């Protein structure tokens, strides 16, 4: 059974067949899905999906690309969503310097605010970090938050190990199956399996052999197979341990 630690099933690309797809997931061994928020609208959509499907839970938060309407009032709305019985995290939140859609200082400000919310509510955080590894790490380290996952991890082995020592999990998805993913493969090799979560980031980043297509949780098997190969374990062992990891982070 698989624990899908990061998906976006509210995305419009799932519009034509969302219900049929989501209903089918348990038949493919998907036990739990975390639908991650990117803004207030998607956070509310995640809540609605969680109320419709027993195995879907959600995270509420605002992505660094989506700070258009971010205010203290919006933060209060995230706080309210986070108290829902099926909200298991604040996220995805963090920094993104690849596009610099918003000024870096503004990104840092709202990242810190949302981290603080996670701390106050004693709820895990789902962290987005792109081309901002050191700033992301420094902000988290200075905070009191020690429960969460670094989603779609792209940093160094050394930083991954520091994160795990702090209590964080490393999120690994379809990129691991790409031919040029040597850096991530080294992370996967050197980080204990007890500190790894699997994810698809659906509809993005589909793994080989479906790279370039719309992604969904049925592709977790390809990520698990690659991770098992790297860790010299069986796919069953990897799926079982990462399932336990997900339950430990989000439900304990």
Residues 179-227 pLDDT 10s:
999 999 999 999 999 999 999 999 999 999 999 999 999 999 999 999 9
d(CA 199, CA 128): 13
The pLDDT of residue 144? 96
Specify the pTM: 0.98
Is residue 34 a contact partner of residue 89, using CB atoms and an 8 Å limit? yes
177 to 114, 223, 249: CA distances (angstroms): 32, 7, 25
The pLDDT of residue 2? 98
- pLDDT band at 83, cuts 50/70/90? very high
Is residue 34 a contact partner of residue 57, using CB atoms and an 8 Å limit? yes
Give one DSSP letter per residue of 7-43, joined into a string: E-TTSGGGTTTHHHHHHHGGGGTEEEEEEPPSSHHHH
Total count of residues recorded for the chain? 252
Cα torsion 133, 138, 144, 148 to 10°: value is 10
The pLDDT of residue 194? 98
Question: If DSSP codes are grouped into helix, strand and coil, which group holds residue 167?
Answer: coil
For the 2-251 domain, the top CATH level (class) is alpha beta
Is residue 129 a contact partner of residue 97, using CB atoms and an 8 Å limit? no
pLDDT digits (tens, 9 = 90+) for 10-22: 999 999 999 999 9
Question: If DSSP codes are grouped into helix, strand and coil, which group holds residue 89?
Answer: strand
Q: Are strands 148-150 and 125-130 parallel, antiparallel or unpaired?
A: parallel
pLDDT digits (tens, 9 = 90+) for 166-189: 999 999 999 999 999 999 999 999
Q: What percent of the chain is predicted at pLDDT more than 90? A: 99
Question: If DSSP codes are grouped into helix, strand and coil, which group holds residue 229?
Answer: helix
pLDDT digits (tens, 9 = 90+) for 54-70: 999 999 999 999 999 89
pLDDT digits (tens, 9 = 90+) for 99-154: 989 999 999 999 999 999 999 999 999 999 999 999 999 999 999 999 999 999 99
The pLDDT of residue 53? 98
Domain boundaries, the chain: 2-251
d(CA 80, CA 70): 15
Question: If DSSP codes are grouped into helix, strand and coil, which group holds residue 149?
Answer: strand
CB within 8 A of 72, min separation 6: which ones? none
């Amino acid at each position: 059974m698989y624990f899908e630690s990061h998906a976006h099933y509210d995305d419009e690309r799932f519009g034509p067949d969302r219900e049929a797809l989501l209903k089918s997931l348990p038949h493919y061994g998907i036990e739990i899905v975390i639908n991650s928020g990117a803004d207030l609208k998607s956070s509310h959509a995640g809540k609605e999906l969680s109320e419709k499907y027993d195995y879907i839970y959600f995270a509420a938060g605002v992505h660094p690309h989506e700070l258009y309407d971010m205010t203290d009032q919006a933060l209060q709305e995230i706080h309210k969503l986070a108290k829902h019985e099926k909200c298991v995290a604040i996220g995805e939140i963090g920094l993104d310097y690849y596009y610099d859609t918003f000024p870096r200082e503004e990104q840092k400000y709202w990242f810190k605010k949302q981290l603080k919310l996670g701390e106050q509510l004693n709820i895990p955080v789902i962290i987005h970090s792109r081309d901002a590894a050191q700033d992301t790490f420094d902000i988290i380290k200075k905070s009191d938050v020690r429960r969460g996952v670094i989603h779609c991890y792209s940093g160094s082995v050394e930083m991954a190990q520091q994160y795990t020592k702090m209590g964080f999990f490393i999120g690994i998805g379809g990129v691991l199956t790409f031919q040029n993913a040597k850096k991530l493969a080294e992370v996967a090799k050197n980080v204990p399996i007890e500190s790894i979560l699997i994810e698809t980031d659906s509809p993005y980043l589909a793994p080989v052999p479906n790279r370039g297509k719309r992604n969904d949780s049925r592709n977790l098997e390809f990520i698990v197979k690659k991770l098992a190969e790297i860790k010299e374990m069986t796919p069953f062992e990897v799926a079982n341990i990462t399932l336990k990891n997900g339950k430990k982070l989000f439900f304990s």
